[in-house]
Amino acid sequence: MVVEDDSLPKSVRDALPGVASSSIRLSAEADLATDGRFGERWVVLADDRVLTVASEDGEARVQRDLALTDIDEFKLESLVGGGVLQAVVDGREVDLISYTNALSKRFADVRTQLEAALKDKPIPEAPDRIFRCPKCGMVLGERTRVCVRCVRRGAMLRRLLSYARPYRAGLALVSVLMIAAAAFGLVPPWLTKILVDDVLIPKANPHLLGWLVFGLLASSVLSTVLAIWRGRVAAWLGGRTSLDIRAELYDRLQWMSLRYFDHHPTGTLVSRLTQDSGGVQDFLAFGLPWVASNLIIVFGVAGAIFALNWKLALLVLVPAPLVALLTRSLIRRVRLAFHKFWYGWSRFHTIVNDALGRVKIVKAFTRELDEIERFRFRNMELFGASVQAEQTFATFFPIIGFAVMSGSLLVWYFGGRLVIGDAGLSVGGLMAFLAYLAMLYGPLHGLAQSAQWMSRAMTAAERIFEVLDSEDYVERAPGKTVPEELRGEVEFQKVTFGYEKSQPVLKEVSFEAEADRMVGLVGKSGVGKTTVINLLCRFYDPDEGQVLVDGVDIRDLDLGAYRGHIGAVLQEPLMFSATIAENIAYGRPDATTEDIIAAAKAANAHNFIIKKPDGYDEQVGERGDKLSSGEKQRVSIARAILRDPKILILDEATANVDLETEELIQEALARLIEGRTTFTIAHRLSTLRNAHKLLVLEEGKVAEFGTHEELAKSKGVYSRLLNIFRKTSRVRAVDG
Amino acid sequence: MARQNGPASGAPDDQTRTRYLDPDEVRVFRDEDGRLFATVAEELTVLRPRFLRVHPLTDPDRYLAIVGPDPEGKDFGLLRNWRRLDRESRDIVNGELNRRYLHPVVKRIMSLRDYFGVAVCVFDTDRGLREATLRDVRDNVIYLGQSRILLTDAEGNRYDIRDVGALDAASKAMLAEVL
């Protein structure tokens, strides 16, 4: 079978000595030369030879040519920033080809393929690892299908506005009000013209005076009332629209996979929800209507002055292109400056969260002064960014003002000459002209200012859409199987997974756990015990292989319903800032008071809870700080009992609790695990003995799987760990 | 903690004590089959040693650990300054470090285009030219001190800009657009 994932260039193909095209079974491109420089390299499997080819400036030459029969095995050595594919020849590793992190998954597949060839098995097809935009070839995010290069910019604004679509009626009302308000705003200068030309200068038509003044009053009042009405409706529309965006954003964030949160600091996400959606709200509620109404006024005024005297109007509009050009070039700089400013805010958030959230450690290590210094640095940085943003804006604004102002001087001079020469402009006309011109300044300033609104909103929207477009979330899988009841049989089938794509934590892990039995996870720290749990809870999905529950891939189960069958008691029990009762009922909000008490009782927690001044209504404080670690532990056991899960995750606490509390916890746990498939990360010898099966992990692989007795006898990894364990427990016993 | 060079007192297996190796007593060489060895003061020979930087980013040239080849990675000791090894050893260690640490240092930014938060740029690095796609740039930048930054691209490769202030004006301007 021919497997060609990367198409081999002709120059490389031609460089292969005595290799017919038809005999090429596999080829893959790498991106590093042996001296560590970037460069094009190829590894080719042809018949039973493995060749590596260096390709530089269209010239290719073979670097290595090995016979498969001389090779014992293929290995990958993982290096910092990349890796190397090696062949073991005569017990010695030979570097075949080096690659950067970009290709580490690809070469894991290549190794598997070469190994298959070595064992005379059919070469498996490699999954497509390279995620590029089919249109422009740009690298996409690992789980994003949206290519920003191919997204049109105007589409951003349209997309933002699409959120207003459900409120079409409101939008139409605002538009009508805007046009009407602008139209009434144009009336007063025109009435002034009539007043001057037909009443004041000829000193005639006194009956008109009253009507004209009434007209002035009426049009002003109407235009004001309409403006207020428009403002109120627009505020509701903008607020409502950004409410929808915020809701969608938060909804999306809640369903994001933990992998996403690993890569995005909470401070950044908080700032997207607060600052960025605030920016979008300002724009929608205030900025956009302001821009729209200013545009209408500008067009209205332009129409009016052209009607008065088109030549003079043209002259006034001379500075307009200049203004437009200035706006365009400065818009970019304002945008960049504000970008920096928002970023500064987000980092500022992160550092404040960090230091205040860990204030105990700061104090314990007397690092207050350093924290103040760290804060001072970020604070200064934020100051710098805000000054730059505001100063850029402050510079931009008056320059435009001046450019517009210069127009009125032209009107006084040329308009004045027209009036003196009786050349088509009356005194009233000139006054009206100047009044219209004055009306033009405000909106033009407003439009210039809209650069700020626009840039702020567009960058904010961009950041929000980035989250909305990221597909890095665990699917809720609607319409898939909803497990009503689980038996609780768990099976891992060749599960490979890594938090970072190049570093698998679990490698082809397979094991089976029977229902209602307890599996103890054993191994040194960092070996992948918690990762097994994370995959079982479907916090992450495996990169390869399957996790089966009752014989069904858990990806085919409704996530919410599936998690409903899982309960966890973690080493560091997570508490919400709420009452004890609310914390216990977190997994089953509909639980009655009696359910909660029963659970607390079974968890040996009831007794300490009722002794609290506020009993079950006691606030546990942020992260449960007001409870002792033994208390938190029991509250979390009660939470798990109340949830009544079929699959139970237990991360045993190593926390120092007194013997009596320890016994209470042990008792509570013994009650909890009955009738459930339990996975426990064991830290106690007693747990190891009680577990029905032990899963011993080493280097991300299953080293041993069996009962305590079997493994203790086998003189393998487990019996070695057991010895260390016994020694340390003895020390602990002596210490205690 | 043992502070002097030379073998530390105490049992050789004492893993709580750091052994600082004297460059004069360490030799690194390859045999005729190309296998790599390190010897420490005639008392210890390590087959296929790995050389690991203690501070790969902030102090790459000092504090080098000599570690065994197995995943457990037994630590044989630390060299404070490996550049003081004899010439042959130094060249081999240099080659090994170059192989292990792919750490491109950006000398110049040749081009950068920002597509709504995703920047496609071409870096001129000490390892040659490279096109990189930077996504969520601000989430994927690490600040080391006040003017040094480490960028991670969408494919997981890292790029080191040692001193942003020392870049040419055009590179600086392009960088400022995305940071």
Predicted pLDDT of residue A56? 85
- Judged by CB atoms within 8 Å, which residues 401-430 of A form the interface with B? none
Q: Which residues contact A260 (CB under 8 A, 6 or more apart)?
A: A470, A472, A473
What's this model's pTM, rounded to 2 decimal places? 0.58
pLDDT value at position A74?
92
Interatomic CA distance for residues B83 and B78, integer angstroms? 13
Both tokens of A642, joined, read 């109340």
pLDDT at A45: 92
Between strands A490-497 and A566-569, the pairing is unpaired
- In which band, very low, low, confident or very high, does the pLDDT at A84 lie, cut at 50, 70 and 90? very high
* Contact: A101, B155; criterion CB under 8 Å: yes
Task: Look at B130 and A38 and tell me if their CB atoms are within 8 Å.
Answer: yes
Chain-chain contact of A500 with B103 (C-beta, under 8 angstroms): no
Average pLDDT over residues A606-625: 83
Cβ-Cβ contacts under 8 Å, A148 against chain B: 115-118
pLDDT at A735: 44
Between B91 and A409, the more confident residue is B91
Phi, psi of A519 (to 5 degrees): -110, 125
- Are A82 and B102 a contacting pair at CB < 8 A? yes
**Chain B residues within 8 Å of chain A (Cβ atoms):** 33-35, 56, 71, 98-104, 115-118, 120, 125, 127-130, 133, 135-136, 138-140, 153-158, 176-177, 179
**pLDDT tens, residue by residue, A364-409:** 888 888 888 888 888 888 898 889 888 888 887 777 667 666 777 8
pLDDT at B88: 92
Nearest to B133 among A139, A343, A502 (CB): A139
Residues in CB range of A437: below 8 A, 6 or more apart: A301, A305, A316, A407, A408, A411
Beta strands in B54-127 (DSSP E): 62-67, 75-81, 106-115, 118-125
Is residue A336 within 8 Å of residue A385, measured between CB atoms? no
Q: Name the residue in chain A with its Cα closest to that of B115.
A: A149
Q: What pLDDT score was predicted for residue A604?
A: 86
pLDDT at A151: 53
Which residues of chain A neighbour B34 with C-beta distances below 8 Å?
Answer: 92
A572 versus A452: which is more confidently predicted? A572
pLDDT of the residue at B7: 41
Integer Cα distance of A491 and A677 in angstroms:
12
Q: Give which of A64, A129, A139, A697 to mutate to test B binding, by max B Cβ within 10 Å.
A: A139
Instruction: Note whether A17 and A63 are within 8 A (CB).
Output: no
d(CA A118, CA A48) in angstroms, rounded, equals 8
Q: Which of B71, B127, B139 is opposite residue A36, by nearest beta carbon?
A: B127
* pLDDT for position A564: 82
CB A291 within 8 A of CB A455: no
- The CA distance from A682 to A673, in Å, is 14
Torsion of CA B150, B152, B156, B157, to 10 degrees: -50
Structure tokens, B9: 């007192």
- pLDDT of the residue at B29: 92
Q: Which residues pair with A698 in a beta bridge?
A: A701
What pLDDT does residue B9 have? 40
- Which residues on chain A are in Cβ contact (under 8 Å) with B127? 36-38
Element (H, E) at B47: strand B44-47
Give the pLDDT score at A280. Answer: 79
Does the pLDDT of residue B38 top 50, yes or no?
yes
Residue among A80, A140, A336 minimizing CB distance to B101: A80
What is the reported pLDDT for A50?
92
A59 in contact with B, Cβ within 8 Å:
no
Average pLDDT (A294-303) is: 88
Minimal-distance CA residue of chain B relative to A503:
B156
Residue A343 sits at the chain B interface (C-beta within 8 Å): yes
What are the helix (H) ranges across A574-652? 580-584, 593-602, 606-610, 629-643
Asked which of A203-207, A326-330, A431-435 is least confident by mean pLDDT, the reply is A326-330
Question: Are B102 and A37 inside 8 Å of each other by CB?
Answer: no
Q: Which two tokens mark A445?
A: 């300033």
Say yes or no: ipTM exceeds 0.90: no
Q: Average pLDDT of B65-76?
A: 79
In Å, how far is B1's CA from the nearest CA of chain A? 22
Cβ pair B156:A80 closer than 8 A: no
Beta strands A49-56; A506-513: pairing state: unpaired
- A472, pLDDT greater than 70: no
Partners of residue A84 in chain B, C-beta under 8 Å: 99
Element (H, E) at B175: helix B169-178
Q: Is the pLDDT of residue A448 over 70?
A: no
Residues in chain B, total: 179
Of residues A359, A377, A80, the one with CA closest to residue B143: A377
> pLDDT by residue (tens digit) across A157-177?
788 888 888 888 888 898 889
Per-residue DSSP letter, A286: I
Please, which residues bridge with residue A546 across strands? Answer: A493
Cα nearest neighbour of A350 on chain B? B139
B127, B156, B176: residue with CB nearest A501: B156
Between A661 and A82, name the one with better pLDDT.
A82
Q: How far apart are CA A34 and CA A43, in angstroms?
A: 13
Q: Determine the pLDDT at residue B126.
A: 92
Nearest Cβ partner of B156 from A102, A343, A346?
Answer: A102
In this predicted structure, what is the pLDDT of residue A390?
Answer: 86
More confident residue, B24 or A317: B24
pLDDT of residue B107: 94
pLDDT in tens, A307-316: 888 888 888 7
Residues 6+ apart with CB under 8 A from A377: none
Lowest mean pLDDT among A431-435, A454-458, A693-697: A454-458
> Which range is most confident: A318-332, A412-426, B140-154?
A412-426
Is the Cβ pair B98, A35 closer than 8 Å?
A: yes
Question: What's the mean per-residue pLDDT of chain B?
Answer: 83
Binned at pLDDT 50, 70 and 90, residue A5 comes out as very low
Contacts of A138 in chain B (CB under 8 A): 115, 118, 120, 133
Contact B179 A39 (CB under 8 A): no
CB contact under 8 A, B117 and A101: no
Which helix or strand (DSSP H or E) is residue A40 part of?
strand A38-46
What is the number of other CB atoms lying within 10 angstroms of the CB of residue A311?
14
pLDDT value for A131:
65
Q: What is the pLDDT of residue A175?
A: 85
pLDDT of residue A734: 45
- How far is Cα B149 from Cα B161, in angstroms, rounded to an integer? 5
Rounded to whole angstroms, how far apart are CA atoms A323 and A303?
19
The DSSP element (H or E) to which A330 belongs, if any, is helix A319-357
Overall average pLDDT of the B75-92 stretch? 90
Q: How confident is the model at residue A500 (pLDDT cuts 50, 70, 90)?
A: low
Is the confidence at residue B125, as pLDDT, over 90?
yes
Residue reference for tokens 């249109």: A135
Q: Which residue in A32, A34, A37, A720 has the most chain B C-beta atoms within 10 A of its own C-beta, making it the best mutation to test that interface?
A: A37
Chain A residues in contact with B115 by the CB 8 A cut-off are 138, 148-149, 151
The most confident of A494-503, A582-591, A657-666, by mean pLDDT: A582-591
Model pLDDT, residue B2 = 36
CA-CA distance, A571 to A460, in Å (whole number)?
A: 39
Please report the number of interchain residue pairs, chain A to chain B, with beta-carbon separation below 8 angstroms. Answer: 98
Smallest CA–CA distance, residue B108 to chain A, in Å, is 16
A38 to B104: CB separation less than 8 angstroms, yes or no: yes
Task: Calculate mean pLDDT across residues A558-581.
Answer: 81
d(CA B133, CA B157): 10
Query: What local confidence, expressed as pLDDT, does residue B168 receive?
Result: 93
B156 closest CB neighbour out of A140, A343, A502: A502
Cα–Cα distance between A65 and A52 in angstroms, integer?
7
Of A57, A105, A115, A58, nearest to A82 by C-alpha is A105
Alpha-carbon distance A686 to nearest alpha carbon in chain B (angstroms)? 28
Average pLDDT along chain A: 81
Mean pLDDT score, A256-260: 75
